[in-house]
Amino acid sequence: MRILGIEGTAWAASAAVFETDDPDALRSGTERTPDPSADHVFIESDPYQPDSGGIHPREAAEHMGTAVPEVVETALAHAAERHDGDGPVVDGVAFSRGPGLGPCLRIVGTAARSVAQTLDVPLLGVNHMVAHLEIGRYQSGFDSPVCLNASGANAHLLGYHNGRYRVLGETMDTGVGNAIDKFTRHVGWTHPGGPKVEAAAEDGDYVELPYVVKGMDFSFSGIMSAAKDEADADTPVPDICAGLQETIFAMLTEVAERALSLTGTDELVLGGGVGQNARLREMLAEMCDQRGAKFHAPEPRFLRDNAGMIAVLGARMLAAGDTLAVEESTVDPNFRPDQVDVTWRGADES
Ligand code: ATP
């Protein structure tokens, strides 16, 4: 089975080709052979880089308008090289249906529909946040992990129950990456701010900032206001960065541990672009180690937005017969992970 994936929820115009010799293994979450998949997934991405400020939806959509056709063309050329000559070059077209920026999603949806109809292959509508989870689950071979999605526009914990991924806890305001990016814009750094905070924190001394966890939910707005106030009061920015990392990641680690404890699960996967941060991974790994749980963080190219994870989940959906009619394939900027019927996991799983 060979699947084309298309991603473009915000900043990454990305297309991928996922190929598996064993589609039957994808039908079952428990019987599949875990595969690091790096050699089986081809990804071509073209990021949108704002000249100044954060991601501007209109500019991002303009970027998608030119970059999506280009990355799709490259991915399809790759698929054609691997094709043996019979039938269409891919067996299905998976695309990010949401959540994300509406103007960007509409371009991705249009591209996916046109390729699927041209090749006469099924369309697969993928929830971007569930894809962040499933790439970690697929790579790790974990059975039923809790997932911490720490991305730009989102921050939540997911756990599987009764046919859906339930939101166990989530941010009460902004996504974690967006919160960090707001602080870095305040101090005049270009987008994205997360990697710059990570680098600066290495030379910083911890500054105390508000720590806000309410049960399984958490909030970043107070921390960000306090961090901006510290910058305005001339506290060295590397010190604030060290305080931001320790505070925010401790909050995420606390709720991840609570989710493991409440669900009785001993498997944690990490998803999302903020997961590229080594300090966050270290804190989560240490917490899992202390409670005897397993932890998996995909490699960076599968953490940040990418079409590889869309193609991998699309393959599982196709194996489960979970295809999408073109006339029902509208995108949904507010598509929540708990709206998705998880058709690709065994019916007997709870
Ligand atoms: P979503 O998946 O919610 O749509 P997104 O489209 O914003 O999120 P991602 O690629 O998941 O994109 O994450 C991008 C975010 O990751 C940005 O906010 C960026 O600052 C942050 N980020 C990237 N690298 C790091 C890092 N090393 N440390 C902390 N944050 C990082």
Domain membership of residue 345 (yes or no) is no
Question: Atom 5 of ligand 1 has which residue's CA nearest to it?
Answer: 152
- Which element (helix H / strand E) includes 6? strand 2-7
Please tell me the distance between residue 232's alpha carbon and the centre of ligand 1 in angstroms.
25
Residues 319 and 331 in one domain: yes
The pLDDT of residue 84 = 86
Domain membership of residue 346 (yes or no) is no
pLDDT band at 86 (very low <50, low <70, confident <90, very high): confident
SS3 243: helix
Complex confidence, ipTM = 0.98
The pLDDT of residue 311 = 97
> What is the C-alpha separation between 203 and 23, in angstroms, rounded?
48
DSSP strands (E only) in 76-122? 92-98
Please tell me the distance between residue 303's alpha carbon and the centre of ligand 1 in angstroms.
9
- Which element (helix H / strand E) includes 192? none
CATH number for position 231 = 3.30.420.40
Residues 32 and 168 in one domain: no
Please tell me the distance between residue 109's alpha carbon and the centre of ligand 1 in angstroms.
22
Residues 266 and 330 in one domain: no
Domain membership of residue 344 (yes or no) is no
What Å distances lie between residue 49 and 180, 188, 230, 308, CA to CA?
17, 15, 28, 21
277 lines ligand 1 (CB under 6 A): yes
Please tell me the distance between residue 190's alpha carbon and the centre of ligand 1 in angstroms.
14
> What is the tally of structural domains in the chain?
2
136 lines ligand 1 (CB under 6 A): no
Residues 207 and 306 in one domain: no
The pLDDT of residue 32 = 46
Strand partners, 19: 2
Residues 327 and 201 in one domain: no
Closest approach atom of ligand 1 to CA 129: 2
Residues 149 and 128 in one domain: no
Please tell me the distance between residue 103's alpha carbon and the centre of ligand 1 in angstroms.
19
The residues, ordered by sequence, that sit 6+ positions from 236 with a Cβ below 8 Å of its Cβ are 204, 205
> What is the C-alpha separation between 190 and 117, in angstroms, rounded?
40
Q: Name the packing angle between helices 221-232 and 237-263 (round to 10°).
A: 170
Domain membership of residue 50 (yes or no) is yes
pLDDT band at 22 (very low <50, low <70, confident <90, very high): confident
Q: What's the burial of 247, exposed, middle or buried (CB within 10 Å: 0-12/13-18/19+)?
A: buried
Domain membership of residue 279 (yes or no) is yes
Closest approach atom of ligand 1 to CA 177: 18
257 lines ligand 1 (CB under 6 A): no
Residues 226 and 273 in one domain: yes
The pLDDT mean for the chain works out to 93
Strand partners, 267: 294
pLDDT band at 34 (very low <50, low <70, confident <90, very high): very low
177 lines ligand 1 (CB under 6 A): yes
Residues 65 and 80 in one domain: yes
Domain that holds residue 322: 2-134+302-339
Residue 212: pLDDT over 70: yes
Please tell me the distance between residue 349's alpha carbon and the centre of ligand 1 in angstroms.
32
Q: What are phi and psi of 12, to 5 degrees?
A: -100, 110
pLDDT band at 21 (very low <50, low <70, confident <90, very high): confident
Domain membership of residue 66 (yes or no) is yes
Please tell me the distance between residue 151's alpha carbon and the centre of ligand 1 in angstroms.
5
Q: Write out pLDDT tens, residues 122-170.
A: 999 999 999 999 999 988 989 999 999 999 999 999 999 999 999 999 9
The pLDDT of residue 33 = 46
Q: What are phi and psi of 227, to 5 degrees?
A: -65, -40
Residue 229: pLDDT over 70: yes
Question: Atom 9 of ligand 1 has which residue's CA nearest to it?
Answer: 273
Domain membership of residue 348 (yes or no) is no
Residues 162 and 282 in one domain: yes
Residues 73 and 172 in one domain: no
Domain membership of residue 183 (yes or no) is yes
Residues 185 and 108 in one domain: no
170 lines ligand 1 (CB under 6 A): no
Residues 243 and 262 in one domain: yes
Both tokens of residue 45? 């991405």
Stated pTM of the model:
0.95
